Amino acid sequence: MNKQAFAKLKSFRFTRKVFSYPYVLFMLIFIVTPLFLILINAFKVNGEFSLGNFVAFFKDSSSITVLERSILVGLFTTAVCLLIGYPVAYFLTQFSSSKVIALLFIIPMWVNFLIRTLSTKAIFQILDMPLGWSAVLVGMVYNYLPFMILPLHTTLSNIDKSYIEASEDLGANSFVVFLKTILPLSVPGIISGITMVFIPTISTFAITEILSNRRITLFGDTINYMFQSSSTYGIGSVMSLIMLVMVIISNTIISRMNKNNQGGSAVW
C-alpha cells in the first residue's frame, strides 16, 4: 500500500453519509434497476422500440375495467378502514394504557399477510360462507385496518389536551369539542392512514386470488399473470408503469392535502 492510499484510509471517518452507502447500493440494485428494465420492456416489441404494448393495453376494454374495479375496491377499503379505524383509535386514547391496547391491533401486522389471508379463507370455509366479493372485501379490510389505526392513534394521542380543555371552558359540549377541535387536529393522521391503505390496496393481488378462488381479478392480479408469460411481458410492464403513475399521483394529491392542512388553522 502506497503512502497516498494509506493517508486516504487514515483520514477516513464514519459519517452519516457513509452509513447511507449500503442503502443507496440496495436501492440501485433492487429498485432503480427493476424499474429501468420495466421501462425498457414497456417500449420494446420484438426487440424494437414501439408503442405497441400501450396500444394493446388501451384497446383491451377488460384491462380498463379491471383498473376501474381496482380503484373502486381501494376506495371502498379505505373508506371502511377509516370508518372503523377512527372510532377505535379515538376510543383507545381514552385509556391510560392505550399504547398497550393498540399493540393488540398492530400485532397482526407482524404476521405475513399471506398467512392472514389464508386464515381469513379458513374462517369463511368453517362458517360455510361462499368465497367471492364479500370474502375479498373482508380480507382487504382485515389486512389493512391496522395501517389505518396506527397513524390515527399516534396523531390522536399527541393532541395537546389544552386545546380540548379550552374548548370545554368556552362552553362547548363533547360533540362540538370533537367536531371543532379533535377532528381538525387529527387530519394529518387521517391523511397518513389513507395513504397507507389506499396505495397498497389498489396494487394487491394475493388477497383476491385466495379469497375468490381466482374468480375475481384486480389490477395487481392481471400484472402478475402478464409477467408469467414472456409473450405478455411488455403489456405487464405497461401496466406496472400505469400503477406507478397512479401511486405518484395519489402521493402528490395526499401530500398537497397534508400541506394545506398544516398551513391552515388546526382549530376552527
State pLDDT tens for residues 14-28: 666 777 788 889 989
Residue 114 placed within a domain = yes
> Alpha-carbon distance 31 to 25, whole Å?
10
218 and 165 in a single domain? The answer is yes
Whether 229 is in a domain gets the answer: yes
> In this predicted model, what pLDDT tens digit does every residue of 54-66 receive, in sequence order?
998 888 888 889 8
The Cα 117–Cα 37 span in angstroms is 31
Reported as a single tens digit per residue, the pLDDT across 67-114 is 899 999 999 999 999 999 999 888 888 776 666 777 777 777 788 888
CA–CA separation, 246 and 252 (whole Å): 10
| Chosen domain end from 34, 50, 66 | 50
Give the mean model confidence (pLDDT) for residues 214-239. Answer: 86
The whole-number pLDDT of residue 2 equals 58
The CATH number of residue 230's host domain is: 1.10.3720.10
The pLDDT, as a whole number, for residue 73 is 93
- Are 175 and 112 within one domain? yes
Total structural domains within the chain: 2
Residue 222 and residue 176 share a domain: yes
pLDDT of residue 262: 60
Provide the 10 A C-beta neighbour count for residue 126.
8
Could you tell me where the DSSP H helices lie in the chain?
Answer: 3-10, 16-19, 21-27, 33-42, 52-59, 61-92, 98-106, 113-126, 133-157, 161-169, 174-177, 183-185, 187-201, 206-211, 219-227, 233-263
- Residues 46, 79, single domain; the answer is no
C-alpha cell at 159: 393532541
- In this predicted structure, the answer to whether residue 160 has a pLDDT above a threshold of 90 is no
| pTM summary value | 0.80
Q: What pLDDT shows up at residue 91? A: 86
**Residues 177 and 230 occupy one common structural domain:** yes
pLDDT at 228: 83
- Contact call for residues 59 and 120 (beta carbons, < 8 A): no
> Can you read off the three cell numbers belonging to residue 167?
374548548
- Copy the grid coordinates of residue 78: 379505505
What is the Cα gyration radius of the chain? 24
Q: Decide if 9 is inside a domain.
A: no
Residue 156, classified by CB atoms within 10 Å of its CB into exposed (0-12), middle (13-18) or buried (19+), is: buried
pLDDT tops 50 at residue 264: no
- Domain span at residue 208 reads 58-263
- 53 neighbors 227 (Cβ within 8 angstroms): no
Give me the amino acid identity at 196: M
Here the cell at position 111 is 404476521
Beta carbons of 197 and 78 less than 8 angstroms apart: yes
Q: Does 254 lie in the same domain as 195?
A: yes
* Rounded distance between C-alpha atoms, residue 246 and residue 221, angstroms: 16
Please give the Cα distance from 174 to 226 (Å, whole number): 54
Question: Do 44 and 118 share a domain, yes or no?
Answer: no
Q: Are residues 39 and 152 in the same domain?
A: no
Do 31 and 155 sit in the same domain of this protein? Answer: no
